[in-house]
Structure 1
Amino acid sequence: MASQETNVHAVEHWTRTDNWSFWSFGLGMLLENYIFSMATFATGWVTMPKSLQSLLLAWAPIWLVIGIAVAGPLADRIGRKNTFYTTMSLYGIGAIGIVFSQTYVLILLFLALLLFAAGGEMNTIMAASHEMMPHKHRSKAMMLELNFINLGGVIIAIVTLFSASQQIAFQRGMIAVTLLAVLIVMFLARRNTPESIPWLEKRGYHERAQAEIDRFYGREEYEARRLAARTATTAAKQAPSTSRRVGIPLKLFVTITTSFAGAAGFGLMTYVLGPNYFPNFKSEIVLIATGTGLISGFLGFWADRLSRKKLLLLGYGGSVALTIVIWLTLGAWSKNLALFWILLILLNLFVNIGYLTEDTLKGEVWPTQSRGTYTAFVRFVSIGLYVATIYITQSFSLNAYTLFNIIIWVIGLAGAIAWYVRGVETGQGASLDTASGESFFPDH
């Protein structure tokens, strides 16, 4: 191996395969939020009482977590790419079904299929992207892919705004056609992406791993990537704060608390706030929240240089502070929509920083062989708790609803503080082995 390393270029490159992988993962993230947001707009497709509206809003996270629970272990067992082909097939069936969903029951049925696929899709992307992107671009690629989530919200908000004056069947059709168009492009991208090489090697499929390397990267380029990652890991071993053992309990506490706050805090103020309190502004609220997130998400270009620990603290600390301001000024903004939009924009700047950071963190801190399963468990618990908050808050006054959001963000801030004090730095060019602790503690 030593002789091989002397013949490779130490500098890894961004290749054509990485372009295909990036667009494959980014479009997958886009469809996840596009479909998740669909439940908010579906509340206006048929007449329904408050109880059924709450069920429809809860339907999104319920079926998302079911998809997560199935796809996490599945991706660890059959591979990342095979799982993607499964979720894409379900997307196609669900999109066509939505066109013909003229009753409440059919809406639930085909939304469940789409959401099940979306949950599995995003979970698998979180595992695969860390494993497949070049070391020096790993954090940047992950955060920019996650920013496609915001783009998905922007697109569906625009589609619903422009089709609001048309018949409901036309709006459903527009939503489905847009979904299918993105799905076709995503399928083409995935035809040009490999299986995760680290997953293949951990499973003992060494010949197939080498065949994938030869086809998609070339041996010289992939050896350069391995060398770059090993060099970063060796350097990290010199820093006690990086090489310390971080136990599973701390990782679970941090990832679950921050993930729950990210899901529930953002969800209640973006997807539930409109149907429950501002039914005439559902599209506008989703557009403002995700549009703000999309713009602030370009922070991801610097993700490989920035501290993940500090960004997590900034995101959740800022979200707590802004939500307190929103609560204290409720009397003013509930009567002045201009102030409401300003506060919503400021809040989502911090929410998105925290969201992109925790979504990056919760996929990178686990060992490769069980990365899909652990990521799925964290998302299953955190999004499952978000379902509970939808029902808990369905009869709250606007004042109590906002106060409840403060409590949620405080929970997330507790996780961010714990990671800042006791966690390891997974940003600033850290290798995946450093982030997961695999190279330091092989029995981890």
Structure 2
Amino acid sequence: MTTLRLLRRRRFLPLFCTQLLNAFNDNLYKTAMVLFVVYAVYSDPETETVFSAIATGLFIGPFIVVSAIAGQLADMRDKAKIIRTVKLCEIGIMTIGAAGLFLAWQDTLVHSVAVPLMLFALFLAGLQSTFLGPIKYAILPQHLRKTEVLAGTGLVEAGTYVAILFGTIIAGWIPVEAAMVAIIMTALVGYAMSRQIPAAPALGEIEPIDWNILRSSIALIRSVRKDRVVWLATLSISVFWMVGAILFIQFPPLVKNVIHANKEVATLFIVMFSIGIAIGSVVINHLLKGEVSARHAPAGVVAMGFFLVLFYVFVRQWPTGLEGPFLTVPEFLTYPLAWVLLVNLLMISVAGGIFVVPLYAFLTTRVAGNMASRTIAATNVISSSYMVFGSVLALVMTYLGISIAEQLLASVALCLITCWMARKLHAEEHLPSVHLD
């Protein structure tokens, strides 16, 4: 079986583990920070939603600003060396984050120093991931055979969400003082693992780096637009992540203020979403049997929208007027409706995994090897812009007084738009590729 064989190969395993540890640490830190602030610092639903949206925006903002430079570097330099440099920087970033968590835990200078310090570290973590993002997919065609690329992409995607799962679980269950130590230790292990990744030198002619952020970003997007299939895949991925951004912003305040449950239950919601993406990422590889195709993408995103509607309906049925302490996980699970909500979340994300994985494979298999990183970088610029727009949309809906439960319907509308693009992608996926430069 190709998937299992890859996990035994040095040309894949160190990269897989490095990416897994990076996703784990990002989410351990981000979730520990957001849950601590939402439950221990603020006590107002509107403020909590605003903070969650700001945190999301700060993390993904660097993807918009510097992805073009990151993509150029990845195509013009040894990808393995870039990964090692990025992972070395992570050690310092997580030290800053740990300092902010420590001050907040000690209730010292919380609003003036601790919260800004934590948000600054989150921004730097997003900057780090911006440079790693184009590489984790673009390096696969360089180290894997063509028949292994879809399996490798699925494993990277599944591993990412398993890592998100464990990072989220641990952040919700361990005390904040333990999280401070864990994020630094994980950064150290991640750097050690990155040193085992085989060399991945630049392919093709080495070109000078355009350090002008605006000019290089525009040039990058114009280049990707030349290939209609790649462009449709990019837009479909972008709207998908916009839906994901809205959902992740809504989960903590939804659980606290609608379900009346504690942060461990909020963690459980994110966990179910992450498990589903990982399952969908593996399932689609078996459905397509290694072929890179979008034929299941429209059905996947329609299913995602359908289960979102069901999730909204069942959230509206949740008992109102609950008072007293927040529900713990065991107390939450005594409600039959709780299991219905969790299963719906799982199905939403399984459908999402089935939808998105083949689209990333399109981006690395339709373009020349020396353009793969820049193609992924262009996708990161656009999808991050959509995610920021999703964050702003969540803030606007909150400002207009739209309840958190009602905001779920915005994600359903976006699924319909994504389905339309996925259908066009499938109809045109067999068109000859266009040379990107």
Q: 1:173 to 1:24 in 2, by over 3 A?
A: same
Task: Provide the rounded CA distance (Å) in 2 between the counterparts of 1:349 and 1:333.
Answer: 24
Checking the alignment, whether the CA contact within 8 Å between 2:32 and 2:171 is kept in structure 1 is: no
% same residue:
9
In the alignment, what sits opposite 2:21? 27
Q: 1:135 to 1:181 in 2, by over 3 A?
A: farther
- Offset at residue 316 of structure 1 (A): 0.8
Task: Provide the rounded CA distance (Å) in 1 between the counterparts of 2:59 and 2:153.
Answer: 20
Which deviates further from its counterpart, 366-375 or 96-105? 366-375
Match of 2:176 among 172, 181, 187: 172
Checking the alignment, whether the CA contact within 8 Å between 1:81 and 1:195 is kept in structure 2 is: yes
Which deviates further from its counterpart, 31-40 or 414-423? 31-40
- Offset at residue 258 of structure 1 (A): 3.2
In the alignment, what sits opposite 1:264? 242
1:321 and 2:306 correspond? yes
Task: Provide the rounded CA distance (Å) in 1 between the counterparts of 2:141 and 2:295.
Answer: 20
Checking the alignment, whether the CA contact within 8 Å between 2:24 and 2:167 is kept in structure 1 is: no
In the alignment, what sits opposite 1:17? 11
Task: Provide the rounded CA distance (Å) in 1 between the counterparts of 2:360 and 2:180.
Answer: 27
In the alignment, what sits opposite 1:74? 70
- Offset at residue 417 of structure 1 (A): 1.0
Q: 1:151 to 1:285 in 2, by over 3 A?
A: same
Deviations 1:187-217 (A, max 9, x none): 22321223434x3434289xxxxxxxxxxxx
Task: Provide the rounded CA distance (Å) in 2 between the counterparts of 1:375 and 1:30.
Answer: 22
Which residues in structure 2 correspond to 1:19-418 (within 5 Å)? 19-38=13-32, 40-42=34-36, 43-47=38-42, 49-50=44-45, 52-68=47-63, 69-77=65-73, 79=77, 80-101=79-100, 102=104, 103=110, 104-163=115-174, 171-197=175-201, 199-203=202-206, 247-248=226-227, 251-260=230-239, 262-276=240-254, 277=257, 278=259, 280=262, 281-299=265-283, 302=286, 304-332=289-317, 336-367=337-368, 368-369=370-371, 370-394=374-398, 395-418=401-424
Listed as ranges, the gaps of 5+ residues in structure 2 are 105-109, 209-223, 321-336
- Offset at residue 33 of structure 1 (A): 4.4
Partner secondary structure for residue 308 of structure 1: coil
Deviations 1:324-352 (A, max 9, x none): 33345554356732322222222222122
Q: 1:252 to 1:326 in 2, by over 3 A?
A: same
- Offset at residue 140 of structure 1 (A): 0.5
Deviations 1:11-37 (A, max 9, x none): x99743333233233433444544554
Listed as ranges, the gaps of 5+ residues in structure 1 are 1-11, 164-170, 206-244, 426-433
Checking the alignment, whether the CA contact within 8 Å between 2:281 and 2:357 is kept in structure 1 is: yes
Instruction: Read off the aligned partner of 2:120 and give its amino acid letter.
Output: L
* TM-score after normalising by structure 2: 0.73
* TM-score after normalising by structure 1: 0.72
Q: 1:359 to 1:324 in 2, by over 3 A?
A: same
Partner secondary structure for residue 197 of structure 2: coil
- Offset at residue 419 of structure 1 (A): 0.3
| Corresponding pairs, count | 372
Deviations 1:298-319 (A, max 9, x none): 3265365245312322321211
